[in-house]
Every structure is written in C-alpha cells, then in structure tokens.
Structure 1
C-alpha cells in the first residue's frame, strides 16, 4: 500500500498506523532526480511484500516542518517506523537488493504455524537420530519401556530421570549408552533451547561422556 501523507495526517497514517504494520516513509521532492529513481523501486519492493509493510510518501517542499522534525538533511530520505517509533533509515537511491535488505530488517518474520513448527522439528537431525535410537532400544532385550511411556504421556521430567538412570546402569555397554544418549539429546531438542529441564539433564548427561 502506497499513500501520500502530510503534516496533518502523519500522526495517524504513520505513527499510529505503524503500531499495526511497519510503515516506510519516503521523504522526496519532484525536482529530485535520485528520488525519481528510488520511488518506483521502493514502491515495487513494498508491493512485493503483499501488505506486510506500507509506504508513505512525504513531499518535503510542502511539508518542511515535518522534514525538519525528522532531521531530513538530504533526499531521498527513507525512514522506517514500527510501534510508533523510527527504527531504521537510509539516505540516497539504493539499488533494489539493498532496499530489500532494509525492508527485511524492518518487517518481523512471519509466525510459523503449528504445522510448520512440527515439520521443522521432525526434520531436525537430533530429533531424527533420537527416534531412530529409540526404535533400536525398543527392539533390544531390555527396553526402557517405562521411560518411553512416561515421555509419550507428557511426564517429561520422570522420563528423563529414568533414562538418566539407564545411562548410569549401562556403564559397561557403550553401544547402549550411546543409544540412550541419542534419545535424550533428541528429547532435549524437542523441549527447546529455553527449557530448564533440558539444561539440567544435559549437564548430568555430559558427566557420562
């Protein structure tokens, strides 16, 4: 979306609007050659983002107080507003690649759907290795069935406690210990990087390897 704004509409169309969607402001003038070069390029870049960002154009000749308020010393001057505040800017007619890089810094990445998060997790190498190790252990002579059952039922702390004990018991069986380690590392990955439970058991597990 591209719109012309002035001193009367700037507060509503830029400051307030940027609390809902990032707004890029292009300070320009009709007589400015670089402005005519930048204008179509930045308009196309904004259009390509399909509503995730908006462009507001300010004619500095007609809005000198506005240009002064935002310390516009040369044009074209482009400033990005997010949540009511200016967060980034550049001056001059940048090439399309740099315009796109600028917009990428300003626009927050789209939130992933639960399906996308699940797909990403399922393709994680540690998760995959952990699940393969679990399958091997399930076919072994002494599978840690109770631990796997607890994990599947959501009792993650109990499951990791049981697996930790299995690692201790398997001291003379390096192959079994390695399979248990892979299962636990896969579980740590599923719990996520901010999990205190995963961090605690990761430290405990490290003492055996």
Structure 2
C-alpha cells in the first residue's frame, strides 16, 4: 500500500497499472466508513501476493486529484488496468463483494490482447499493434474501451477513414464516455486540416490581431490534430477570456475535450483546469 499525490500519480498508478491492476482508495482521516474499508483492502492486498496493488489518496490533501476523477463521496475506489480506469465503487462493500470486484480485474483474453496492442504501439511496432487491437476486438466486439483505444491508435497513424469507420461500431453507451467526445474532437480537427490555412499563416494572423478568435480556433484545431495539446490550450483559453460566447462557448467545450485527451497527464490537466476556472470567474 502506498500514498499517492498528484505528483506521483502517473508513475505509481497509471504506469504501474500496465503491470498489475491498481486500486486507488480515495479517503480522508475524518471518514468513518473509510476506517472500515481501508483495513479490509490492505488485508486483501497482502493475501494477493502482488497480483494487484493498493494505493491511497487523501482527498483533503489532494483535492485537485479527487476532482479530476469526479470523487464526491468517500470512500470511493477506482480500479486501473493497462493505464486506464476500468471499474469503481463507492462506499463499503462486504468482503465477499470486494473479492468478487477484485476477481473481475483479472485479465481476460481481450484485455491481454489490448495490453499487447498498447505495448506494441509504444515500441513502434505499428503492424503488431494493429493486429493486437483487432484481436482484442475479436474477443469482445462490444468492448467500447478497447475500440476507443484503437481509434486513438488509428488517429496516431493518420488513418482517418479507418478511425471514422470504427466510430460507427461503438455502442450507444460509448457516447457517455468522455474519451468519445475527446477523440471525436481530434478526428474532426484532423479531417479539417486540409481546409485550414498554413499554421504559420494562422500564427501570424493571431500575432497581428489577438482578437481574431476564428484564427485562434483554427490554430487550436491544427495543434490538436498534431497532438500539441498544451499549445492548443493556450489558444483556447485566450478565446474563453476574450469572448465566452464565441461559437457557442466552443473555447471552453474544446478545452474539456483536450483535458480528456491528456488524461494520462493529471498534473498538467489540473494546472489548466485552474486556469480555466479562474478565467470563468
């Protein structure tokens, strides 16, 4: 069991979960139910012998991290696997239910193939990654999370038509996933690149006229398509500050999608969320 903060979350949770499942227990010293759940989780972790890892986040000391994961009531436990949040529960579960929850984190063939796909992509084996993603979806065609990950991979490969086709295979439930809106924002940005002026021309327009919000938005789209997210956020927050109503609040809405694209960078996202919050007040 280890304590996690915003600074070590990526290493101790996101990266560690690529090796074994990681449970994040959001708690506070004043929380009575937390004092019941915490020891139960510690006992089960000891029994597991390294099959999964328990981490704890004190919400009083890490309010930004708690807000990032939508924690409103504690105890709140989020399970991570392969770098992503895969399940969660709120409150205290009986030990039998806890064991069932943990058993559900054991990788199935589709999850194993998904892990192999991500590892191959990280290693630069694009053909191997594509084959592994397709294998993962063959095991479970209804796995929206795996399909969204595959869409992200296809966008990395600039395979826009293939990515758009995969969007059509998602279930209606996927529309509620923040990753859906984020990837759609990126897809639309990439599809529109051919219609946009040269990025140097856009940057020159913004320099010459900082109030040219249309140029700022086009430049942000270009940067999103290139995965240059923080420079894109600089343009988007300038739009929010200058005209919140511009194109139906598109600056703020697009920032939220970019935050999801940067989900593996919680510290950077928290910094930009603070700036956005300050701009809205």
Tell me the TM-score normalized by structure 2: 0.38
Which is greater in Rg?
A: 1
Q: Is residue 52 from structure 1 mapped to residue 20 from structure 2 by the alignment? A: no
Distance 1:81 1:26 in 2: 11
Q: Is residue 73 from structure 1 mapped to residue 72 from structure 2 by the alignment? A: yes
Once the two structures are TM-superposed, the CA of residue 47 in structure 1 deviates from its matched residue by 1.3
Distance 1:50 1:107 in 2: 14
- List per-residue Cα deviations over 1:138-181 (Å, max 9, x = no partner): xxxxxxxxxxxxxxxxxxxxxxxxxxxxxxxxxxxxxxxxxxxx
Matches within 5 A, 1:195-206: none
- List per-residue Cα deviations over 1:175-206 (Å, max 9, x = no partner): xxxxxxxxxxxxxxxxxxxxxxxxxxxxxxxx
Q: Does the C-alpha gap of structure 1 residues 96 and 43 become closer, same or farther in structure 2, counting only changes over 3 Å?
A: same
Question: What secondary structure is seen at the aligned counterpart in 1 of 2:49?
Answer: coil
Structure 1 partner of 2:96: 97
Once the two structures are TM-superposed, the CA of residue 108 in structure 1 deviates from its matched residue by 2.7
Matches within 5 A, 1:1-209: 2-108=1-107
- Root mean square deviation, CA, Å: 1.3
Distance 1:43 1:88 in 2: 19
Question: What secondary structure is seen at the aligned counterpart in 1 of 2:17?
Answer: helix
User: Which blocks of at least 5 consecutive residues in structure 1 are unaligned?
Assistant: 110-209
Distance 1:55 1:91 in 2: 16
User: Contact 1:53–1:107 at 8 Å: present in 2 too?
Assistant: no
User: Contact 1:6–1:58 at 8 Å: present in 2 too?
Assistant: yes
Question: What secondary structure is seen at the aligned counterpart in 2 of 1:106?
Answer: coil
User: Contact 1:28–1:75 at 8 Å: present in 2 too?
Assistant: yes
If each structure's helix is expressed as a fraction of its own residues, which one has the higher value?
2
Q: Which has the higher contact order (CA 8 A, sep 6+)?
A: 1
Distance 1:13 1:34 in 2: 25
Which consecutive aligned stretches of 4+ in structure 1 deviate over 6 angstroms post-superposition? none
Paired residues in the alignment total 109
Distance 1:49 1:10 in 2: 22
Distance 1:63 1:82 in 2: 22
Question: What secondary structure is seen at the aligned counterpart in 2 of 1:74?
Answer: coil
Distance 1:69 1:85 in 2: 14
Tell me the TM-score normalized by structure 1: 0.51
Once the two structures are TM-superposed, the CA of residue 38 in structure 1 deviates from its matched residue by 0.3
Distance 2:40 2:107 in 1: 21
Question: What secondary structure is seen at the aligned counterpart in 1 of 2:72?
Answer: coil
